[in-house]
Amino acid sequence: MKKIKLSKKGKIILGIVAILVIAALGYYVNQSSSQVSVDYYTVDQGQVIQSISSEGKIISEDVSTAFSGANGEIVIFNKEVGDEVKEGDVIAKINKDTILLQIEGIEAQIANVEYMLKEAIRPAEKERINSLEYSIRTARNNLDRSIEQVIKMEKLYENQAISLEEFNGAKDQQVVLENQLKSLQSDLSLLKKTASRNVQMQYESQMNSLKAEKGQLMNTLNRTDIIADIDGVITEKFIKEGSFVTQGSPIVEITNLDHIKILADILESELIDIKKGMRVKIDDRISDTEVMSKVLKIYPKIYTELTELGIQQKKVNVEIDGSQLSKGYILNQVLDLEFIVDEKIAVLRIPLDSYYTDNEDHFVFINNDGVAESKKIEIGLIGEDYVEIIEGLSQDDQIIEVLDNDISEGMSIE
């Protein structure tokens, strides 16, 4: 093969060409390495939601504590924690033996007092009573004869057979006999009452007291069965079988898990945005969906809570309706909440991280022939994920989606 021999001038030209090729290649490589790769977002219409994120725990609308109605030992526990109960079910029983013995003792005392009361109301002075009753019969006979005599004397006086003095004497004698009869009757009545009335009243008072005590014991006997007053589940048991309880002691807690609410604690600084009836988005973990609910109640008292870092926070409790949640939640289970403070529907929007602020003006970056260029915008509602666009962009415009320190005006982008 024939070799080509370059002249000195040819070698110089070839060297210049090689240098230009290398320079061009270096420029291309340098330009490629200085370009920043970015992601774009297409301006669209959708929701912009401003909200407060929080957590809440499951509580029940219907919680009841069953209390002991008597003193005694718990001898039977029919239900345990986690068991379902119906209203009227017997949860536990208290030993009745002591109460039954007390009732027997009261009944014996009542029988004894009844006997003594009968004895107390017998006439204490029978002979004197009999004598007074005889005197009363005699006085009544004498009065009857006196009345007949006055009638006769009246006729004689009208016929002028006797004087007025004689007639008046007969009438006076009738009055004397009437007063004598009344006096004897009064003495007899007083004798029958006075002999035993005070004692009788004492026994009657004692009898009434014993009967009242028996009635209380009977009521207590009827309360030795501890009854469920609502449908639900036993969520806590305060006493063990065999324990001695006093009247009013808590025995079990019953919770109706079909009627649940959510209790959230809100920071005092956020309370100004929370209103009764406002919408709340709940993360329903069981169905893996988001459920819309509402605020039922805002508690009227702020409390202080100490964080794990030792910082005091002022909070207030808020109740949220849980009726739309799936069945199967348990007490104190925690759910994520989102309180909807404001919301815009079907508005132009861009992601929250795709704009920046400079001297209170707002800007986005667009791609102008491979160069990053800022564009002024006017924003509206600032949500949790998106911001509303009022002016400066149109639907389907493309902007740089996420801004970071690598993006600046005039930068080469792709």
Point out which residues pair with 371 in neighbouring strands. 368, 412
Average confidence (pLDDT) over 187-201: 69
Q: What's the pLDDT tens digit per position in 256-287?
A: 999 999 999 999 999 999 999 999 999 999 99
Taken in order 53, 55, 58, 61, is the CA torsion positive or negative? negative
Flag the least confident range among 181-185, 312-316, 389-393. 181-185
pLDDT given at position 186: 84
Distances (CA, A) of 295 to 51, 193, 257, 316, 384: 14, 75, 19, 13, 20
Q: Does position 138 have pLDDT exceeding 80, yes or no?
A: yes
Average confidence (pLDDT) over 77-91: 92
Q: Does position 229 have pLDDT exceeding 70, yes or no?
A: yes
Q: Does position 133 have pLDDT exceeding 60, yes or no?
A: yes
Q: Does position 3 have pLDDT exceeding 80, yes or no?
A: no
pLDDT given at position 281: 95
* Residue located via tokens 């849980």: 322
For the beta carbon of residue 332, count every other beta carbon within 10 angstroms.
10
pLDDT given at position 361: 92
pLDDT given at position 161: 80
pLDDT given at position 237: 93
CATH classification number, 36-95+225-414, choose in 3.90.420.10, 1.10.287.180, 3.90.1150.10, 2.40.30.170: 2.40.30.170
Q: Does position 248 have pLDDT exceeding 80, yes or no?
A: yes
List own/partner pairs for 141-147 with CB under 8 A and 24 or more apart. Answer: 142/177, 142/180, 143/174, 143/177, 143/178, 143/180, 143/181, 146/170, 146/173, 146/174, 146/177, 147/174
For residue 12, how many C-alpha atoms fall within 13 Å in the half-sphere facing its CB?
3
DSSP string, 156-188: HHHTTSS-HHHHHHHHHHHHHHHHHHHHHHHHH
Provide the mean pLDDT of the chain.
85
pLDDT given at position 26: 47
Q: What's the pLDDT tens digit per position in 356-388?
A: 898 889 999 988 888 888 899 999 999 989 999
For the beta carbon of residue 260, count every other beta carbon within 10 angstroms.
21
Point out which residues pair with 334 in neighbouring strands. 57
Q: Does position 88 have pLDDT exceeding 50, yes or no?
A: yes
Distance from CA of residue 187 to its chain's centroid? Answer: 70
CB 334 within 8 A of CB 322: no
Q: What's the pLDDT tens digit per position in 291-308?
A: 999 999 999 999 998 888
Flag the least confident range among 67-71, 92-96, 115-119, 202-206. 115-119
Q: What's the pLDDT tens digit per position in 320-357?
A: 999 999 999 999 999 999 999 999 999 999 999 889 89
pLDDT given at position 119: 66
pLDDT given at position 391: 94
pLDDT given at position 28: 43
Q: Does position 7 have pLDDT exceeding 60, yes or no?
A: no
Split at pLDDT 50, 70, 90, the class of 142 is confident
pLDDT given at position 301: 94
Q: Name the more confident of 220 and 317.
A: 317
Q: What's the pLDDT tens digit per position in 17-46?
A: 556 655 555 444 444 445 778 888 999 999
